[in-house]
Structure 1
Amino acid sequence: MDLLEYQVKEWFGKMGIPVLPSQRIDHPTDLKRLKIRYPIVLKSQVHADERAKAGGVRIVETTIDAIAAAQNIFNLPIWGELPEVLLAESKYDAKDEFYLAVVLDTALCRPVLLGCKESDIDWESPGEKMQYVVVEQEFSPFYARRLGLKMGLQGALMQSVSDIVEKMYQLFVQKDLDLVEINPLAVSAAGQVMALNGKIRVNPRAINRHPEIAQMAAKIANRNKISRTNNILGDGNGLGVYGKIGILANGTGSLLTTLDAVFNAGGKPGLSFNLRHSFLTDTTPNTFCDRLATSLRNLASDKSIQVILINFLGTIPDLSQMPKVVANFIQVDPQELKSPLSTTSKNKSRHLPRMVFRLAGTDFQDTKKHLTALNPESDTLIIVENLNEAVAQAVRLAKLPAYKK
């Protein structure tokens, strides 16, 4: 369960993490009674990460402009979600912006501290820019200072950032969280630090241990129209959207990029899964290819899915096993398509979505050859390197009659 920004800021404030003066806006007329000084930033309170690009974040300097902007934002759907609340916040002049996070690494089964001296980055982004420290034993301020050192911080800034990381970890443990993120952590010219935006993801297994969180979850469940699949697999790795094109990706960034590309091409995304990490409901260790097989079966059990668009780039573990997983999926017996996501108890005929693979990276050369050899007939399995081409093919196939085997 992901919290909205205004809820995140409330938790940050209670923990002593510096946040700007802000005010919750339930209706545009609330801005007539604003208690913070202009200029302000109005922010749409939705779960999508691309609010600014979609027009959900506005800087305004007068009450008249603020009311007009609020009216527009309240009526602006972002990823199909309309905000019920806006956040009005003081404008902050930042000299530098950092990224900080505490995340539960499902592969290591340990909390990991993350930090980067750039803010426009995803916590799953690989590369040398992202610094990390694994909390291997009982937490101490040493871990936070070690992250600051790896980020290249010094002096008062080093102390300020490590203090914030320590408080983020305390919040992480107290509330049984999967993720605490500050993006960005702004640094003013005077060296003052401020959490301008944040994300908190609650472990769904821990919701009922916290009455406050359980109450929030009940409100979200009543308000949001999310699919049963998203409830079962967890918000962290699955997106419940009603459409004909199911999407699989190996990272949050590639998943969101693919979703945007499908929308922009006139397609309608369906259930979408990030296979990079284990699903929240997994009770036993599993591999990337295990998650691929499970997701393929889940998508095939949804009769609305006509095409499965797979966007893998970079590297994936157990790559040699992927053609075997796909081969088993294409030839699987109909009874094996039963899953908790099925809407009926019996599958009278096998629903086999067409598949479009976008494989980008030198490691996929042998895999492409094996997958090409599996193609039993035209349009059943298409392999390309370019994402736009893959999306165009998926949108085209989604308009054809459903394929059954």
Structure 2
Amino acid sequence: MDLLEYQVKEWFDQMGIPVLPSQRIDHPTDLKRLNINYPLVLKSQVHADDRVKAGGVRIVETTIDAIATAQNIFNLPILGEFPEVLLAESKYDAQKEFYLAIVLDTALCRPVLLGCKEANIDWESPGEKMQYVVVEQEFSSFYARRLTLKMGLQGALMQSVSDIVEKMYELFIQKDLDLVEINPLAVNGSGQVMVLNGKVRVNERAINRHPEIAEMAAKMIGRHKNSKVNGIFDDWDGAEIQGEIGILANGTGSVLTTLDAVFNAGGKPGMSLNLRHSFLTDTKPTTFCDRLEKGLKILAADNTIKVILINFLGTIPDVTQMSEVIANFIQIDPQELTSYLSNGSKPKTNKLPKLVIRLAGVDFDDARKYLATLADENEQPIVVENLDEAVKLAVDLAKLQKIEKSKLEDKKQKTKGRK
């Protein structure tokens, strides 16, 4: 979850990281009651990058100019997002600009300090100009000084930047962040350092450990209800796609791999859910099996879903309970799924989607045997160990369902014609 700039700078200010005098603007008329002096910079508060090129960052000299400019920015979409808030900030005369960041390297499983004597670059872009230091042990000021030395800084400037890096790291740990970025860190003619723009990315898995962040996340989701399934995606990550094969998997990688496999096999992947983690708006603790049960019902309630493809790889919590959840699901009455429909209507079908289950890993040996015993006269559910086989079966079943539906509709039309 990425914070908006004004939220980032509130956190920076609390940590003692130098930021410019600024004021949140909720309406253009707020500019009549400014507590900062002109000239100032008005900034659109959206998540999109490159606001300057899009016209979302403007310098203004007077109140009249500021109100007119603010009105324009409020009505300016940047990559489809309209700002609900602007940031009014003092103008700063920078002589030099640097780049600083702390990022969680998931490959190393360690925080990495990044620094460059040039600004407006991407931390993911490799290059000789970007300096880095891996925090291999308990953090100390040594790591911050080492980064500034590698950047070629000296004297008072080295000390100032080093102090900022230490405070960035404190914020990084305190708030469970994936990224803290200052781009740029400006230096004026007298050597004073100042943050002109910043970015913070919160680790979504840690949001519920911080009530104030959970509240921010809930408000953010509430303001951006662009998806019709926003109301039911309240427990985990998901992707809304209009297709016939719903997907449940235990990890982002598994979800994306399954999506690609279904598409490459000629199928149409539908709504896909990652059961591994709670979604960022979740305020109550849930177990993996809780999410599995709800995920199955959500997909079954979607009339476009003909087949549910489960792909579990490696290991999951409580394998025995997982089997029981699936066993209970295949026995439920479809009419019980009303509460899982986004519009609250009744399901238009009297049967559940076909179920194909791929379980890979020694932990699933007993589960595979048990689930295989649940198969009915139509050999449902289908339990396999190979993903390609599971995907082919799911795609074939979806096509068969489509043919059967077409035949049924033709039969109804002929019957209606006779009458």
Partner of 2:31: 31
Which of 295, 308, 314 is the aligned partner of 2:256? 295
Do 1:103 and 1:178's aligned partners in 2 also have CA atoms closer than 8 Å? yes
CA distance in 2, matches of 1:54, 1:84: 16
Could you say what secondary structure the match of 2:169 adopts? Answer: helix
CA distance in 2, matches of 1:93, 1:175: 31
Q: How far did 1:295 drift? A: 3.1
CA distance in 1, matches of 2:113, 2:170: 12
CA distance in 1, matches of 2:241, 2:189: 46
Equivalent residue letter for 1:346: K
Q: Which ranges of structure 2 fall in alignment gaps of 5 or more residues?
A: 243-249, 275-298, 309-419
Partner of 1:126: 126
Q: How does 1:106-185 map to 2 (within 5 A)?
A: 106-185=106-185
Partner of 2:222: 222
Structure 1 residue 44 corresponds to structure 2 residue 44: yes
Q: How far did 1:330 drift? A: 2.6
Could you say what secondary structure the match of 2:273 adopts? Answer: coil
Q: How far did 1:331 drift? A: 3.4
Partner of 2:68: 68
CA distance in 2, matches of 1:47, 1:210: 21
CA distance in 2, matches of 1:15, 1:85: 23
Q: How far did 1:123 drift? A: 0.9
Q: Please report the TM-score for the alignment, with normalisation by the length of structure 1.
A: 0.62
Q: Please report the TM-score for the alignment, with normalisation by the length of structure 2.
A: 0.60
CA distance in 2, matches of 1:52, 1:215: 29
Partner of 2:389: none
Q: How does 1:261-280 map to 2 (within 5 A)?
A: none
CA distance in 2, matches of 1:176, 1:46: 22
Would the alpha carbon gap of residues 336 and 50 (structure 1) be closer, same or farther in structure 2, given more than 3 Å must change?
closer
Which of 238, 256, 265 is the aligned partner of 1:331? 265
CA distance in 2, matches of 1:163, 1:232: 39
CA distance in 2, matches of 1:86, 1:220: 15
CA distance in 1, matches of 2:271, 2:81: 31
Do 2:96 and 2:188's aligned partners in 1 also have CA atoms closer than 8 Å? yes
Q: How far did 1:345 drift? A: 4.0
CA distance in 1, matches of 2:180, 2:71: 31
CA distance in 2, matches of 1:336, 1:59: 47
Q: How far did 1:335 drift? A: 9.6
Could you say what secondary structure the match of 1:133 adopts? Answer: strand
CA distance in 2, matches of 1:214, 1:63: 36
Would the alpha carbon gap of residues 202 and 162 (structure 1) be closer, same or farther in structure 2, given more than 3 Å must change?
same
Q: Please, what is the CA RMSD of the aligned residues?
A: 2.9
Which of 332, 337, 340 is the aligned partner of 2:273? 340
CA distance in 1, matches of 2:213, 2:71: 30
Aligned length: 272
Higher Cα Rg, which structure: 2
CA distance in 1, matches of 2:268, 2:29: 57
Do 2:40 and 2:89's aligned partners in 1 also have CA atoms closer than 8 Å? yes
Partner of 2:89: 89
Could you say what secondary structure the match of 1:143 adopts? Answer: helix
CA distance in 1, matches of 2:207, 2:40: 34
Would the alpha carbon gap of residues 156 and 66 (structure 1) be closer, same or farther in structure 2, given more than 3 Å must change?
same
Q: How far did 1:212 drift? A: 0.7
Would the alpha carbon gap of residues 46 and 330 (structure 1) be closer, same or farther in structure 2, given more than 3 Å must change?
same
Do 2:270 and 2:305's aligned partners in 1 also have CA atoms closer than 8 Å? no
Could you say what secondary structure the match of 1:13 adopts? Answer: helix
